[in-house]
């Protein structure tokens, strides 16, 4: 066993950890000890996230406690001589309620005023509550769409967005400065814990209802058939109620996935990006001939949708397709309402479809690109506040935000506005599929593909690191017979012209991301996941779509182009 691992194990065996934890350590194999203690959980694009269990590299009461005490110590430094206020929420995952109470106890033990949701709530409502209650920070206990073995800890700042540099690094420094668990104030001050629920629900719903633009279309098409699944998560607490208040009268909830359950019994992976997770919703949608299927992940910050194509078959849209539809609809609805003044903006990430850039430009709306992670979108909204009006934003991984009342992905509001978009389309004699194809004809047919390679554990992390190093130091010269003309290196913040050797600076925070552009119109992005043991490769190609009738022909050609690139790169 490596010396650093042995030292951490002995610290847990000899410290003031509970007997059950110590016994579990004694029963672990050397391989399990290595995986559980070889590193400390760190804040990535989604905060703290990991497999539940014993050890510094696992989600448990002590790693949650250390993260909370570190955050508390940093908040005291960031807001001296203030009564610090925080909000706390949790999702349906196993141990989420217990972890949330530990967080509340520690914050209150540090003298903070704690607003504590008494039952599970969506992540976007936590983001909203921070600003609504004038809090300095907030925490939601969730692992989003990860498998049932995982849990996580998302930390938020005063603006309701997840912590960004330098705050995230500074919090980690404070966590690392905790010498022992004796430095963690686990003892609660119950007088400082204020329970919240319905009042904040109501305030949140009211601000979402204000986002609606096509109320007349909803009234005329209020009976569209909507199928909704919460996939055993928090969306059930607010999505059906929101749809009802918006005026929709024909909503069908997938009953077998309605009850919150951290074991997610009907799915392998509670992620609306996965067809398996959408299968029960698809079945119901087909049975009732629905106009739209929507499903949210456990903490209701991501939404996947299914629509009927021109053959009457239900198909699942990917995150780029849904994002371009939703953002495009919001721009169009604002334009028809006379709300476009030249000072509006949309925001997306650098790996999200460039079709959105074209849509925005064609309608006089600015489009900004940020690093992956919704915290960067929230940060840009904050920077532009008072100068430009945020309409909508999104990322390819099924996360979207409408309006700036929330500063994180918001699947609750997205469900409401997607339903409105369906009503708007139907009011014009179209389906969402028709709308998607019309956009392709107007703005270009963009096709994207994501390949995720899972590399678990310590060896996997090292392999991912080596893969990125190889790509960075030896970029491909040709791909699919075309020259690679540009490389964007977000770790070294340089845009390189690979034909001339010239470099120009990139004005973004540092991130371990590489992007390559070929002369043949292929865009490739490589990025280690900040929340999962994966390295992700994003592929994007585009072509003109002369007419809707040629969709299948052009789609086939674009797919072949991507598959040829994937095959050439031998990603495995």
HEC secondary structure over 399-434: EEEECCCCCCCCHHHHHHHHHHHHHHHHHCCCCHHH
Nearest to 164 by CA among 367, 453, 374, 427: 374
Neighbour-count burial of 217, counting CB atoms closer than 10 A to its CB (0-12 exposed, 13-18 middle, 19+ buried): buried
CB 369 within 8 A of CB 508: no
The one catalytic residue among 127, 137, 144, 397: 144
Using alpha carbons only, give the angle 490, 493, 496 rounded to the nearest 5 degrees. Answer: 90
The residue whose two tokens read 């169009």 is 332
DSSP 163: P
Q: Tokens at residue 210, please?
A: 């204000």
| 3-state secondary structure (DSSP) of residue 251 | strand
DSSP letter string over 65-124? HHHHHHHHHHHHHHSTTS--EEEEEE-SSTTHHHHHHHHHHHHHHTT-EEEEESS---HH
The residue whose two tokens read 């390295």 is 535
CA dist 374 and 146 (Å) reads 17
The separation between the first and the last C-alpha atoms of the chain, rounded to the nearest angstrom, is 29
CA dist 518 and 515 (Å) reads 10
| 3-state secondary structure (DSSP) of residue 519 | coil
Q: How crowded is residue 559: how many other Cβ atoms within 10 Å of its Cβ?
A: 13
Q: Tokens at residue 470, please?
A: 């190889």
HEC secondary structure over 177-202: CCCCHHHCCCCCCHHHEEEECHHHHH
Buried b (16+ CB within 10 A) or exposed e, 3-14: eebeebbeebee
Q: Tokens at residue 516, please?
A: 């390559």
CA dist 233 and 236 (Å) reads 7
Active site residue 324: no
CA separation (Å) from 432 to 211, 291, 353, 423, 552? 20, 9, 18, 9, 17
Q: How crowded is residue 272: how many other Cβ atoms within 10 Å of its Cβ?
A: 28
Buried b (16+ CB within 10 A) or exposed e, 230-257: bbbbbbbbbbbebbeebbbeebbbbeeb
Nearest to 171 by CA among 123, 131, 133, 137: 137
DSSP 43: -
CB 94 within 8 A of CB 52: yes
- Positions marked catalytic: 144
């Amino acid at each position: 066993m490596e010396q650093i691992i042995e030292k951490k194990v002995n610290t847990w065996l000899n410290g003031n950890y509970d007997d059950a934890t110590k016994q579990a350590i004694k029963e672990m194999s050397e391989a399990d000890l290595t995986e559980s203690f070889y590193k400390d959980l760190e804040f990535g694009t989604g905060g703290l996230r990991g497999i539940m269990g014993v050890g510094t590299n696992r989600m448990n009461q002590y790693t949650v406690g250390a993260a909370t005490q570190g955050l508390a110590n940093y908040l005291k430094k960031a807001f001296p001589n203030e009564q610090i206020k925080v909000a706390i929420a949790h999702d349906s995952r196993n141990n989420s309620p217990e972890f949330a109470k530990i967080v509340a106890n520690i914050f209150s033990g540090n003298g903070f005023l704690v607003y504590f949701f008494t039952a599970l709530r969506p992540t976007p409502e936590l983001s909203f509550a921070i600003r609504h209650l004038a809090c300095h920070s907030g925490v939601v206990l969730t692992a989003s769409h990860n498998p049932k073995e995982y849990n996580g800890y998302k930390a938020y700042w005063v603006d309701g967005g997840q912590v960004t540099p330098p705050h995230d690094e500074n919090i980690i420094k404070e966590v690392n400065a905790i010498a022992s668990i004796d430095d963690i104030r686990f003892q609660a001050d119950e007088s400082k814990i204020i329970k919240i629920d319905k009042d904040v629900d109501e305030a949140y719903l009211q601000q979402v209802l204000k986002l609606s633009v096509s109320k007349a279309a909803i009234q005329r098409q209020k009976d569209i058939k909507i199928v909704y699944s919460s996939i055993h998560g928090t969306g059930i607490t607010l999505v059906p109620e929101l749809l009802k208040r918006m005026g929709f009268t024909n909503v069908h909830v997938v009953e077998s996935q309605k009850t919150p359950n951290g074991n997610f019994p009907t799915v392998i992976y509670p992620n609306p990006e996965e067809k398996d997770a959408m299968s029960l919703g698809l079945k119901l949608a087909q049975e009732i001939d629905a106009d739209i299927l929507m499903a949210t992940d456990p903490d209701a910050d991501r939404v996947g949708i299914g629509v009927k194509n021109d053959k009457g078959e239900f198909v699942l849209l990917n995150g780029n397709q849904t994002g371009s539809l939703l953002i495009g609809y919001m721009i169009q609805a604002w334009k028809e309402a006379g709300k476009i003044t030249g000072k509006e903006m949309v925001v997306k990430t650098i790996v999200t479809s460039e079709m959105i850039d074209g849509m925005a430009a064609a309608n006089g709306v600015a489009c900004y690109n940020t690093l992956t992670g919704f915290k960067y979108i929230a940060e840009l909204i904050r920077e532009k506040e008072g100068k430009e009006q945020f309409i909508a934003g999104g990322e390819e991984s099924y996360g979207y935000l409408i309006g700036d009342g929330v500063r994180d992905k918001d699947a609750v509001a997205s469900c409401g506005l997607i339903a409105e978009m369906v009503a708007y389309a139907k009011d014009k004699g179209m389906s969402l599929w028709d709308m998607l194809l019309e956009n392709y004809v107007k703005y270009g047919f963009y096709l994207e593909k994501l390949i995720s390679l899972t590399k678990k554990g310590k060896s996997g992390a090292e392999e991912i690191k080596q893969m990125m190093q190889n790509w960075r130091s030896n970029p491909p010269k040709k791909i699919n017979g075309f020259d690679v003309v540009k490389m964007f290196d977000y770790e070294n913040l340089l845009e390189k012209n690979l034909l001339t050797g010239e470099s120009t600076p990139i004005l973004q925070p540092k991130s371990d991301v590489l992007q390559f552009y070929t002369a043949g119109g292929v865009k490739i992005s490589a990025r280690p996941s900040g929340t999962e043991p994966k390295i992700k490769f994003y592929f994007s190609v585009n072509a003109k779509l002369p007419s809707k009738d040629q969709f299948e022909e052009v789609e086939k050609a674009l797919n072949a182009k991507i598959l040829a690139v994937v095959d050439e790169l031998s990603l495995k």
